Structure 1
Amino acid sequence: MTLVPEEIAEQQADITRLLLHHIHAPLPGDQYIRGILPPPPSAEAIRVVTGGESAVEAGVLTVWEVPLRASGDSQDLIGGEHVLSILRTLLAGTHVYSSSRIDTVMGMTLIHVDPAQVTPVDPGEFDNAFTILRTLTSPWTEEQPDPRLRGFLLQGPDRMRLYVDHAEDTDVIAVDVRPSGALTALLAALPSLIEEEERAIRGGVDDPHCSRLIDLTDW
């Protein structure tokens, strides 16, 4: 089993946390973040899913795969603010992509972004205000939550897929949940539920972003 390095897994989790509010706050073109996906190993990247405010059908969603290295041989990782700036450029106006950069994943259009070809939009006044407020209310800590959220995908009415890892293991587990369910109980039980092998869906999972899938929509 191939795993991504811990530094990549941690960066994917940090970017997910930074961009979460854009499921409500629009991006250019009235686009919203509908998911953030950890690419299959050994890709050092993040995949951001965008679409209309209530879009969940795969055919109307776009996945942007952004490399996490500032350049191919760089040791520096780009952060959530940089990813957001790239997205704003990509979503503003019309862009033409070569066929070699366009693919599909889970029925969604996948575009492999070349950051060298994108001029990021500088953060605005309200971006910086949000950074100040977020830092004061949710300060960074060296201690990572367990399970750690590496991504998510809004899949339809009352259904969301979480991508998590657990217990110092960067292997990604997908968990389907109902947002209208017993959230307090579910979140408290999640660390133990994802360890129960019998809950994993058998027969293969049509999702390259995880090694196994657990369905907790009826929990």
Structure 2
Amino acid sequence: MTDPEDREQQAAVCRLLLYYLNAPMAEGCRLRGVLPAPSAVRIAIHAGDDATGRTFLYEIPNDRVAPAYVPGMLRTVLAGTQYYSNNDISDAMGMTVIRLRPEEIALDPEPEQGQALTVLRALSDPGDDENPFLIGFLMHGDNLMRLYVQRSDRPGIIGADIRLTQTSTALIASLSTLIQEAQYQLPAPEDPHCDLLVDLTDW
């Protein structure tokens, strides 16, 4: 029987990687699956074209990597030449299994799209489908994103500008309160999609 913590980790990684089915994880590398393994998760990556490429299973231990770091770890591993010992290589279902050692991998910085996805996922969690908070977004400028939000207890749509490189968990958690603070509010004459702008780029 699978350990409950392993199952939670595997499910979290599976949810995170669903978003990568429509785009390459790295150049020439596409996601093909997420497989549970004892105390680990295995990510199936197909390298090369469909006819002549190969599929590899990258095994990541559950006890050393939080789910949120898995996409970055895969991007780093797939971006350049890696060397593995024979002890880290095996086979399963006709695929080469490569056991990763997270402590030896220096993660590449997350690209802008990945940072945006993290923020949007956190804000679009289906807590109340009848009164959604996040109703739109626009990536614009250098590392900037405008979030279109609406509070169920207040009229109007608010455009909240954030800087992706500075977005913290605290900002995301405080957003519904921050948009009410007058010090951040601005008129929005150039944006017909909101009634008010909130500038949180320096928060």
Q: Smaller-chain TM-score range?
A: 0.5 to 0.7
* C-alpha separation in 2, matches of 1:92 and 1:8: 27
* C-alpha separation in 2, matches of 1:82 and 1:33: 16
Moved over 3 A (4+): 52-57, 138-141
Q: 8 Å contact 2:48–2:54 — kept in the other structure?
A: no
Match of 1:50 among 31, 45, 49: 45
TM-score, normalised relative to structure 2: 0.57
Tell me what 2:22 maps to. Answer: 24
* C-alpha separation in 1, matches of 2:127 and 2:107: 25
The percentage of aligned residue pairs carrying the same residue is 34
* C-alpha separation in 2, matches of 1:118 and 1:139: 34
> Any unmatched runs of 5+ in structure 1?
71-77, 142-219
Any residues of structure 2 matched to 1:97-176 within 5 Å, and which?
A: 97-139=84-126
Higher relative contact order (CA 8 A, sep 6+): 1
Q: CA deviation at 1:56?
A: 8.7
Q: 8 Å contact 2:28–2:48 — kept in the other structure?
A: yes
* C-alpha separation in 2, matches of 1:67 and 1:93: 21
* C-alpha separation in 1, matches of 2:124 and 2:66: 19
Is 1:7 aligned with 2:5? Answer: yes
Letter in 2 for 1:51: H
Distance 1:27 1:109, change over 3 A: same
Structure index of larger Rg? 2
* C-alpha separation in 2, matches of 1:97 and 1:80: 23
Q: CA deviation at 1:9?
A: 0.3
Tell me what 2:78 maps to. Answer: 91
Q: 8 Å contact 1:55–1:61 — kept in the other structure?
A: no
> Any unmatched runs of 5+ in structure 2?
129-203
Letter in 2 for 1:134: R
* C-alpha separation in 1, matches of 2:115 and 2:92: 34
Is 1:38 aligned with 2:2? Answer: no
TM-score, normalised relative to structure 1: 0.53
